[in-house]
Amino acid sequence: MTVEVIRAEALAAVAHGFLGRRGGVSGGILAGLNVGSGSSDDLDAIAENRRRAIESVLPGAELATVFQVHSGDAVYAGSPWPNAQRPRADALVTDRPGLLLGILTADCAPVLFADPQAGVVGAAHAGWRGALAGVTDAAIAAMEKLGAKRERIAAAVGPCIGQASYEVDQQFRARFLGADAANARFFLDWLGGKPHFDLEAYVISRLYGAGLANVTALGLDTYADPDRFFSYRRSTHRGDPDYGRQISLIGIAGGNPVDG
C-alpha cells in the first residue's frame, strides 16, 4: 500500500502533507505508517516509515521534529536536531529549503502554515493544552520574525479527534470558559451526557483570531477512522497497550537539503 498523503488547497504552493497510517511497514496494533519513537515499535520500522513519509512529500529532504510537551512554545529549525537534543516545544518554523518540519499526532490537531512569498513555513502540535496556551499564535509570531506577514500566512488544520468522539468533563470545560466565556460555543452536551469538545473549531478560531484569513480545516476524525488514522483515545478505550503516531509535514522545495 502506498503512503496516503492528504493535502490542503490553502497550502498548495508548498510541499506538505497530512499522513495517516496507510503505507507503512509496522505491524500489530501499530500496523501502518507509525512514526512515533515513543512507541514500542521496532526502531528500524519507524525509520523506514519516516523515510517513506519524507519521500512522499519532499524527496531528498531532511526531517526536523521537536520533543512535544503540550506547550505554547515555538522554535526555529535551521537543520534537524539529533533525537536526544530536540528542543521541548510544540511548534517549529523554518526558512530553509530542503528541510521538512514534522509534527506527530494521535488525536491532537496538526496545524501547518505557509507564507510562500516570504519562503517561510511552520508546523504546530495543537492538543487542547497547547491550543489553549497559544501554540498557534507562537508559530505565527515565529514566522513573522523570519519575514512572513500574517495577512499572507495560509494555515490548514489536519486530522484530529472530532467533537462526536471527544467527551470531556466539566472541569475541562471550566478551563476554557475561564479563559474566555465565548469558548462555550465549542462544547455540546451529547445526548444529555458529558460535554463534547470541538478541538478543530477551537483551533480554527484561534487562527482567525490571530489575523489569518486563509484557513482550511480537513474535518477528519482520527478516532472514528481506525483504518486510516492512529488514535490515542481509541487505543485507550480498546485497552491496547500502545498506540501509533502519524506525522504531518511541510517544507520549502528548491535548493539543496540542509546539512544535518
164 three-class SS: helix
CA distance 258 to 204: 32
Please tell me the chain's helix, strand, coil percentages from 3-state DSSP, rounded to the nearest 5. Answer: 30, 25, 45
Burial-class residue 88 by CB neighbours within 10 Å (0-12, 13-18, 19+).
exposed
Work out the average pLDDT over 238-252: 97
Pick among 3.60.140.10, 3.40.50.800, 3.40.50.2300, 3.50.50.60: CATH of 5-162+198-250:
3.60.140.10
| Residues 38-94 pLDDT 10s | 999 999 999 999 999 999 999 999 999 999 999 999 999 999 999 999 999 999 999
Q: What is the pLDDT of residues 45-61, one digit of tens each?
A: 999 999 999 999 999 99
pTM score over 0.85: yes
Instruction: Give strand ranges (E) for the chain.
Output: 5-6, 15-19, 62-64, 74-76, 91-94, 99-105, 109-115, 120-126, 154-157, 187-189, 195-197, 214-217, 246-251
Question: What pLDDT was estimated at residue 220?
Answer: 98
CA 128 to chain centre: 12
Count CB neighbours of 116 within 10 A: 16
- Give the bridge partners for 109, in sequence order: 126
Percent of the chain scoring above 90 in pLDDT: 95
Best CA proximity match to 199, nearest among 207, 170, 68: 207
Other CB atoms within 10 A of residue 235 CB: 20
pLDDT of residue 248: 98
Q: Which residues contact residue 204 at a Cβ distance below 8 angstroms, ignoring those fewer than 6 apart?
A: 157, 215, 217
pLDDT band at 97 (very low <50, low <70, confident <90, very high): very high
